[in-house]
Amino acid sequence: MSNQVLHALYDDDDVLLKAVKEVREQKHHIEEIYTPFPVHGLDKAMGLEGTRIGIMAFIYGCIGFSVAITMINYIMIEDWPQNIGGKPSFSFLSNLPAFVPVIFEMTVFFAAHLMVITFYMRSRLWPFKEAENPNPLTTDDKFLMEIEINGNEKELTALLKKTGAIEINIPQNHEE
């Protein structure tokens, strides 16, 4: 198990996208790519799995939906029934239209917040976390491709040069 990686720097997203395709065609394993902005189609070019956050959003929405119904039924019907606008709250169904906005908002609230939290957890992000990107240039205008090497540096360097990398280096103090 080699932790040795190679960093190739690119300065254009189109060049990067082409390079990703070529590198993958040569059966090299791309560990990670750092970009200053989301590059359209990069996930597909890298062969990453599609996100499943949509499924979680649906589940979170369903949770919010149920919580909202339970909550508003307790507040408005069971605990403290009131007569609002000539509509006494004796049953949940007969007052449902008034509750729909609340239920809707709670559904959205749960889906949105839980989704953001899920995303942070999956991306291992939390407040005050040290930045992980190996080269600060990737927060400006450069793109960095990180490739695993298994003693094939020469071949790989030649390939990357051909694809238009502007700088290639092997970081010595790479920690995993």
CB of 131 to another protein, least distance (A): 31
Give the one residue of 85, 127, 136, 151 binding another protein; rule: CB under 8 A. 85
- What are residue 59's phi and psi, to 5 degrees? -65, -45
**Looking up tokens 């809707």, which residue turns up?**
104
Q: In terms of CB distance, is 82 or 169 closer to another protein?
A: 82
CB of 142 to another protein, least distance (A): 26
Task: For 105-137, give one letter per residue: b (16+ CB within 10 A) or e.
Answer: ebbeebbeebbeeeeeeeeeeeeeeeeeeebeb
Residues 20 to 59: which contact another protein by CB under 8 A? 41, 54, 58
Q: Dump strand ranges (E) for 66-174.
A: 83-84, 87-88, 143-148, 167-169
Count residues near another protein (CB under 8 A). 15
Asked if residue 171 binds another protein (CB under 8 A), the reply is no
Q: Dump strand ranges (E) for 12-93.
A: 30-34, 83-84, 87-88
Q: Answer yes or no: are the C-beta atoms of 20 and 33 closer than 8 Å.
A: yes
CB of 157 to another protein, least distance (A): 33
Asked if residue 136 binds another protein (CB under 8 A), the reply is no
Give the one residue of 29, 52, 87, 162 binding another protein; rule: CB under 8 A. 87
Residues 88 to 117: which contact another protein by CB under 8 A? 88, 91, 93-94, 96-98, 100-101
Closest CA to 102 of 62, 59, 65: 65
Give the interface with another protein as residue ranges (CB under 8 A): 41, 54, 58, 85-88, 91, 93-94, 96-98, 100-101
